[in-house]
Every structure is written in structure tokens, then in C-alpha cells.
């Protein structure tokens, strides 16, 4: 059995479908043929039973033609019942049965075997009944036995029998016809199965060709025509969606590489220029003035710091959206994370005043990613705040707002603030990679929240971050503070 299953699974899909269709049709035809055979058999049997009961002789006619002693002796009483046409009773046997089992044939050329059923009817222990038996020559007969009711004192029964060949010959012919029809049906089913398999799998063939074409040429612009709304159509739509997503992902990847190369070129060029100046000074022996040398080294340090920040941001953005960065999602206290980020922001802008009103709020996030996002928002506020300015931080029921009093962002630039490597023309001279807010948007989106940036009343910018959570930690999960 296992070998057959392995062979079946090794066949092409088209052959398996054709074989399954042919097998299903063969089983259906076989079931229909068997059912038809039994229905016809039962109908013929009922017809034979009706013929037996309608051809039984009258009680008086039977009594006139038998000798009770002959019945007891089991001898033949008469060759035929007077007044009956033998041509209508071909192979029919009529015999009288006594309760002790003896019989007397009054019509027919041979006797039939007397059964317990016949003697029970003769003894009045049973009413008329139909049953099967055999004749003296071994031929099968269908028997109808009924009591001789007009003469109850004699305890006699009459058995009317006709051969089963009247049914068997018809059933044999029917079986032959059904076998031929079934064979033709199975062959037709096999042909139909092949046609159905070829027709039904034609869209799959097109899909296979498309997949092979994409694998061979990496042409993600290929689309499969979608017809209807069946499973094949849905599969084609899924394939088209997959190739579109892959194309979009590849475009984004290429764009990221291009943008990263562009952003890396500036600090690398500046770093290379400064290092070349220092190297040329050493090679030529011409010393650089101390102040200039100090400025060059400070510039090299700044460029290296900018490169490190840019590479870190690129690594953060290169992580998959499933949060496969190594950190685990857990319940954390958003107010504590925000407080830690504020302390870090104060170190970067000691001349600024940062106020904080933080109500308790617990969220389920990656703690490092959340802290980095909040730090990026605060860094933007610190970067664009005037010297001696104020940054206001508020956390109320999961709504974290960071407001600065800087120059603000023009309305036409607000839709682009979360794009990768986008930087306002007025901020290109300031340090930064243009990836900070992209990282913020990514982290908040992964946590099921949303972040917006808009102009504040009276000047400045307000960043709003909303994260789902609760004012109290879940009892089964202790809060993690940072």
C-alpha cells in the first residue's frame, strides 16, 4: 500500500488528477451498476412472486385431482390439472404437501424439495410464504406455498414453483450490459479526466511559467492576468501582490543604498580631505599651525562620530519589521523610559530647560527601541531649540508630547519629515543623518501606535506619540523599568 502511494505521489499532477477523476467515475459507475442490478433483481423477483400467486390452482380443483393416500405415499397424482393450458405454465411445478413432509406432484415433470417452511404452512403454523428451494435435478426454484384453507382438517398445503432461470438469464444479460457500459464509462472518464486536468491546470501552467521567468530573469514587473474569482484567480492575485511587494522592496533597498551612499559621501570626503592635509603636513615637514591642527582633529572626530551615528541608524533601519533585533517585547513603564531619555537629552543641551509632566503609563514594546525613539524626538527638539529655550515634555494616558520653541517646520515640509534621509533645507548644515524620525516612525508603528509632527501655536514644533497601554501594569507581568 505504501509503495502504491509513493508511486502515485511520484506521478505528475496532471496524471494524478486524471487518475483520480477516472477512479471516482469508475467507483460511481460501479456503485450505480450494482444498485441497478439489485433493483432489477428485486423487481424481477417481485414479478415472479406475483406470477406464482396468480397461477395457483383453486382448492377444489386440487382436491379433485389428488388421492390422499397417494399424497401420503409421495406418488404422482396426475400429469396435469384438467382445464389448464401447459403452454402458459412452462416449467411450473405444483405439488401438494402434507404436514408430515410427504408430497404429491399434480403439475410438472419433477418434484421440488419439501422444506420445513412447507410443512409448517401445511400444519397451519405459518401463513403463505415465499422461499427458495431446489428441484430433484438440482435446479433452483422460487416457491410460493399456501395452506389449503377450504379443507383445514386435511392439513395440506400447495406449493407453486417456477425456476430461477427466468430471473437469472435476464440478470446475466443485464450484468453484461452494465459491465460494457461501465468499461466505456471508465475509458470516457479517463479521457475526460485528462481533458479536465489539462484545462484546469492551464492557469497553473501559466503561473509556473511566470515563476520560472521571474527566477530566471529577476523581472519583478511581470504580472499574470486574473480571470474570475476562483482559487486560481486568488493565487494569481497573490503572486502579483508578491512580485509587486518584492519589486517595491527592491526599489526601497536600492533607494536606501543610493541615499546611504550619498549621505556617506559627504563625511567621508571631508574626513579624507582632513586626513590628507594632516598626512601631507607630515610628509613635507611643514607644520600646521596649532589652532588649525586642533580644528582639523576636531573636524575628523566630528566626522567619525557622524559616520558612527549614520551607520548605527542604517543598521537599525535594516532590521526586519518583525523586531528581530535581539530585544524581546515586554511590558515597560513608558514614564520611566521617557524620564531616562530626558536625562540623556539634558546632557546634550545643558543650556536648555526641559520640563516634564509624566503620568504613569505601561506599554508592551522593545525597551531599547522605545528609548531610542524617544531620544531621537528629544534630540530634534534640543537641536532646533534656541539657546536658553524650553522643551516641554508631557505624558498623559499614553499620549507623549514634546514641544520646542524653535523656528518650526514649514507646512509644505511636514509630510516628508518621516522619510528616510530627508532633511529640511534649513537643517542641512546641522549634524544628523536624516534617519532619526524614520526610526521613530518605525518603532511606534511596530508597537501599534502612531506619531505625528506639527507646528505648535506660538511657534515651534510639537511631536506627538501615542502608544496603546494601561495606567497600571498587568498583574501577571511585572513592569520593566529602564
CA distance 111 to 116: 16
pLDDT of residue 86 exceeding 50: no
The pLDDT, as a whole number, for residue 261 is 65
Q: Which of 200, 224, 240 is the last residue of a domain?
A: 200
pLDDT of residue 163 exceeding 50: yes
Model confidence over 87-144: pLDDT tens digits? 444 578 888 888 888 888 887 778 888 888 888 988 888 888 998 888 888 889 999 9
pLDDT of residue 76 exceeding 50: no
More confident residue, 177 or 475: 177
Do residues 182 and 304 both lie within one domain? no
Do residues 294 and 401 both lie within one domain? no
Q: Which pLDDT band holds residue 325 (cuts at 50, 70, 90)?
A: very low
Other CB atoms within 10 A of residue 73 CB = 10
Q: Comparing 103-107, 256-260, 293-297, 350-354, which segment has the lowest mean pLDDT?
A: 256-260
Residue 239 lies in a domain: no
Do residues 261 and 314 both lie within one domain? yes
The pLDDT, as a whole number, for residue 78 is 47
CA distance 199 to 259: 49
More confident residue, 175 or 85: 175
Residue 401 lies in a domain: yes
CATH number of residue 384's parent domain: 3.30.565.10
Residue 5 lies in a domain: no
pLDDT of residue 324 exceeding 50: no
pLDDT of residue 445 exceeding 70: yes
Q: Which pLDDT band holds residue 476 (cuts at 50, 70, 90)?
A: low
Segment 274-285 shows an average pLDDT of: 81
pLDDT of residue 340 exceeding 70: yes
CA distances from 187 to 15, 178, 199, 399 (A): 15, 14, 18, 73
Residue 52 lies in a domain: yes
Do residues 154 and 262 both lie within one domain? no
The pLDDT, as a whole number, for residue 431 is 53
Segment 57-81 shows an average pLDDT of: 59
Do residues 280 and 403 both lie within one domain? no
Do residues 174 and 286 both lie within one domain? no
Residue with cell 586626513: 275
Do 121 and 145 touch, CB atoms closer than 8 A? yes
Segment 65-88 shows an average pLDDT of: 51
Residue with cell 488528477: 17
Residue 213 lies in a domain: no
Do residues 405 and 457 both lie within one domain? yes
Segment 444-453 shows an average pLDDT of: 88
More confident residue, 474 or 428: 474
Question: How many domains does one find in the chain?
Answer: 3
Model confidence over 228-273: pLDDT tens digits? 777 777 777 888 888 888 887 777 677 666 656 655 666 677 778 8
pLDDT of residue 474 exceeding 80: no
The pLDDT, as a whole number, for residue 80 is 47
Do residues 143 and 31 both lie within one domain? yes
Do residues 301 and 346 both lie within one domain? no
Do residues 282 and 428 both lie within one domain? no
CA distance 416 to 412: 8
Q: Which of 161, 185, 200 is the last residue of a domain?
A: 200
The pLDDT, as a whole number, for residue 306 is 64
Segment 61-86 shows an average pLDDT of: 54
Segment 453-474 shows an average pLDDT of: 87
pLDDT of residue 323 exceeding 50: no
Q: Which pLDDT band holds residue 83 (cuts at 50, 70, 90)?
A: very low
**Percentage of residues in the chain having pLDDT higher than 70:** 78
Q: Which pLDDT band holds residue 348 (cuts at 50, 70, 90)?
A: confident
Q: Which of 287, 318, 349 is the last residue of a domain?
A: 318
pLDDT of residue 475 exceeding 80: no
Q: Comparing 17-31, 193-207, 354-368, which segment has the lowest mean pLDDT?
A: 193-207
pLDDT of residue 466 exceeding 90: yes
pTM of the full predicted structure? Answer: 0.43
Do residues 301 and 390 both lie within one domain? no
Do 143 and 160 touch, CB atoms closer than 8 A? yes
CATH number of residue 277's parent domain: 1.10.287
Average pLDDT score, the chain: 78
Domain that holds residue 400: 330-466
Residue 88 lies in a domain: yes
Residue 235 lies in a domain: no
Segment 1-13 shows an average pLDDT of: 60
pLDDT of residue 17 exceeding 50: yes
Q: Comparing 65-74, 118-127, 261-270, 286-295, which segment has the lowest mean pLDDT?
A: 65-74
Do residues 273 and 369 both lie within one domain? no
Residue 382 lies in a domain: yes
The pLDDT, as a whole number, for residue 279 is 83
CA distance 267 to 262: 10
pLDDT of residue 362 exceeding 90: yes
Amino acid at each position: 500500500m505504501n509503495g502504491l502511494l509513493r508511486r502515485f505521489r511520484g506521478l505528475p499532477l496532471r496524471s494524478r488528477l486524471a487518475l483520480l477523476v477516472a477512479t471516482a467515475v469508475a467507483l460511481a459507475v460501479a456503485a450505480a451498476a450494482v444498485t441497478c442490478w439489485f433493483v432489477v433483481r428485486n423487481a424481477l423477483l417481485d414479478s415472479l412472486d406475483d406470477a406464482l400467486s396468480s397461477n395457483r390452482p383453486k382448492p377444489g380443483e386440487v382436491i379433485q385431482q389428488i388421492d390422499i393416500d397417494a399424497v401420503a405415499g409421495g406418488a404422482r397424482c396426475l400429469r396435469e390439472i384438467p382445464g389448464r393450458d401447459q403452454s402458459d405454465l412452462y416449467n411450473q411445478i405444483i405439488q401438494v404437501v402434507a404436514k408430515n413432509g410427504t408430497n404429491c406432484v399434480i403439475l410438472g415433470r419433477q418434484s421440488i424439495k419439501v422444506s420445513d417452511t412447507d410443512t409448517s404452512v401445511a400444519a397451519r403454523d405459518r401463513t403463505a410464504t415465499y422461499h427458495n428451494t431446489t428441484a430433484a435435478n438440482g435446479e433452483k426454484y422460487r416457491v410460493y406455498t399456501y395452506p389449503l384453507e377450504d379443507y383445514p382438517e386435511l392439513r395440506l398445503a400447495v406449493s407453486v414453483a417456477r425456476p430461477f432461470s427466468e430471473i437469472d438469464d435476464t440478470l446475466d444479460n443485464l450484468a453484461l450490459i452494465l459491465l460494457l457500459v461501465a468499461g466505456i464509462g471508465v475509458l470516457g472518464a479517463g479521457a475526460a479526466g485528462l481533458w479536465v486536468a489539462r484545462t484546469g491546470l492551464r492557469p497553473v501552467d501559466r503561473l509556473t511559467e511566470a515563476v520560472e521567468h521571474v527566477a530566471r530573469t529577476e523581472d519583478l514587473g511581470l504580472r499574470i492576468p486574473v480571470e474570475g474569482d476562483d482559487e486560481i484567480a486568488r493565487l494569481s492575485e497573490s503572486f502579483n501582490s508578491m512580485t509587486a511587494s518584492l519589486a517595491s522592496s527592491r526599489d526601497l533597498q536600492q533607494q536606501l543604498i543610493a541615499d546611504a551612499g550619498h549621505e556617506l559621501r559627504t563625511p567621508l570626503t571631508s574626513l579624507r580631505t582632513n586626513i590628507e592635509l594632516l598626512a601631507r603636513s607630515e610628509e613635507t615637514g611643514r607644520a600646521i599651525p596649532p589652532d588649525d591642527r586642533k580644528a582639523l582633529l576636531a573636524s575628523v572626530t566630528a566626522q567619525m562620530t557622524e559616520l558612527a551615528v549614520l551607520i548605527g541608524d542604517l543598521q537599525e533601519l535594516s532590521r526586519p519589521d518583525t523586531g528581530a533585533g535581539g530585544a524581546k517585547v515586554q511590558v515597560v513603564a513608558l514614564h520611566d523610559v521617557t524620564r531616562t531619555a530626558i536625562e540623556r537629552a539634558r546632557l546634550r543641551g545643558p543650556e536648555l530647560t526641559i520640563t516634564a509632566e509624566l503620568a504613569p503609563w505601561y506599554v508592551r514594546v522593545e525597551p531599547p527601541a522605545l528609548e531610542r525613539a524617544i531620544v531621537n524626538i528629544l534630540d530634534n527638539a534640543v537641536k532646533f531649540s534656541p539657546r536658553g529655550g524650553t522643551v516641554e515634555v508631557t505624558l498623559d494616558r499614553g499620549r507623549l508630547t514634546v514641544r520646542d520653541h524653535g523656528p518650526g517646520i514649514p507646512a509644505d515640509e511636514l509630510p516628508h519629515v518621516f522619510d528616510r534621509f530627508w532633511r529640511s533645507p534649513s537643517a542641512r548644515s546641522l549634524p544628523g543623518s536624516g534617519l532619526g524620525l524614520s526610526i521613530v516612525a518605525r518603532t511606534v508603528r511596530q508597537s501599534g501606535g502612531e506619531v505625528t509632527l506639527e507646528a505648535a501655536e506660538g511657534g515651534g514644533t510639537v511631536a506627538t506619540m501615542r502608544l496603546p497601554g494601561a495606567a497600571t501594569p498587568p498583574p501577571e507581568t511585572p513592569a520593566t523599568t529602564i
